[in-house]
Amino acid sequence: MRDGAAFCGGCGSRQPAPVETPEAVRRYREVVARFLGDGGLDGAKQGQLDELRVRLSVSLATHAALLAELEPESPPPPSIRLSIDVVTLAHFAVGARCLARFKVENDGPLALETLSLQARLSGEALPAVEAATLFPGRASVLPLIVTPEVAGFHELSGELRLVDLMGEGSRYTFSDIHVRVGGEGPKVQVLNIDQSAARVVDNSRSSFGGGSTGGLVSHGDWQPVPLVTAREQGGARRASNSTNARRVEFAV
């Protein structure tokens, strides 16, 4: 039966009107607020809300009222896209100089004057990486040097901090990038060979401790990384993020 229909589409019998209870509205409001706080409503979240609304017998009018109440408090969708190169992650090993490459794409209308990435590996802070001015429609690759000390599985997480040409700052967080660090990286091997009795020594074909060969890093296999808008506490969120001295806040 279609939501809100007074008669069954199969048998034609009259259906009882759904009763909207305060408990159902309270639960629906909690889910709407959580979805909006996670970066807005996409297709998957909207589909879940539609299904939940029908099961809780929440009317469309209540749904619209909750969105009008909660959406002004929700952060705007990110104007950038973040992705990571999974090719270089395959070479992570303990003691090795490893490379994690992040790519930031600017989908907004203004250039980003400053752009910095602060990442963590299993909670340990890594050196911050900064990029030059990023214009709209362009991308910037941020190389992050990592020297893992512990083998096994780790999580890469962090934060992006942006300031556009208007001086408006914004922050986005990411997490749940799981990588495996190999148990052994490159080692220094010392080998002593007594060749004092040899009249002619030819070591041209000898290989001592040869590992994997080097080469140019490819264009990469870039996988998208979900971003979550970092929300400030209190009503002065936008003012605290702004570095624009000419910005004026009006209270109405």
The alpha carbon dihedral of 125, 130, 136, 140 has a sign of negative
pLDDT confidence bin for 103, thresholds 50/70/90: very high
pLDDT confidence bin for 99, thresholds 50/70/90: very high
* Encoded tokens for 74: 């929700």
pLDDT confidence bin for 238, thresholds 50/70/90: very low
Amino acid at 138: R
Share of the chain above pLDDT 70, in %: 69
| DSSP-assigned letters across all residues of 214-236 | -----S--EEEE--EEPPPSSTT
What Å distances lie between residue 31 and 28, 41, 50, 56, CA to CA? 5, 11, 12, 12
State the pLDDT at residue 206.
56
CATH superfamily for 80-192+212-241 is Immunoglobulins (2.60.40.10)
Scanning the structure block, which residue is given the tokens 């992006």? 160
User: 188 pLDDT exceeds 70?
Assistant: no
Condensed to tens digits (0 to 9), the pLDDT of residues 157-171 reads 999 999 999 998 999
pLDDT confidence bin for 119, thresholds 50/70/90: very high
Q: Sketch the domain layout of the chain as residue ranges.
A: 22-73, 80-192+212-241
pLDDT confidence bin for 69, thresholds 50/70/90: confident
Helix H or strand E segment including 75:
none
CA proximity to 94, closest of 185, 192, 6, 213:
185
Q: Rg (Cα) of the chain, in Å, rounded?
A: 28
State the pLDDT at residue 223.
93
